[in-house]
Amino acid sequence: MKVLMLFLWGIVLFIFTCAADSSFWSKGAMPYFHLTPSPDFRNLLQMDIRYTEIFITRKIGHFVGFAIFGMLLYRINKSYIQSIIWSILFAVSTEIFQLYFGRDGRIYDMVNDSAGIVTRIILIAVVKRWNRAAGLQSRRR
């Protein structure tokens, strides 16, 4: 069941990151894809950061979406490092795939996705440690 959840969440992330119109969900439309066989990889380097509500909402979506992906992967393999590495590789690949689907893959999105992954894995580690410490304290009483 855990593998299925990870797989389905990976598909959701792929659809959201590679659909030709990323706002399909807010319009109630079906996602569609536009294949670009020869993308311009220089687009990865563009720094077109705009502090608009839509832009910030999308970046929060990147952060949270990949944080969830990292958590789901950790639930399967129980390795902090492997979860981070594989999740970041998936995040990087989705940004590169975006270029093949007529979207704007960006390095700053890779960084944002990675920050979500690392933040979530750190939170998992902190909560686990805190729960272990709380369990030890309750046994000592």
Q: What pTM did the predictor assign?
A: 0.88
Which token pair is 95?
A: 């940004």
| Distance (Å, whole) CA 51 – CA 129 | 37
| Distance (Å, whole) CA 6 – CA 74 | 10
- Least confident among 9-13, 51-55, 70-74, 78-82: 51-55
Q: Count of domains in the chain?
A: 1
Residue 105: pLDDT over 80: yes
Task: Give the residue numbers spanning the domain of 76.
Answer: 2-140
Q: Mean of the per-residue pLDDT values for the chain? A: 91
DSSP 12-60: HHHHHHHSSSTTHHHHTPPP-----SS--GGGGG-------HHHHHHHH
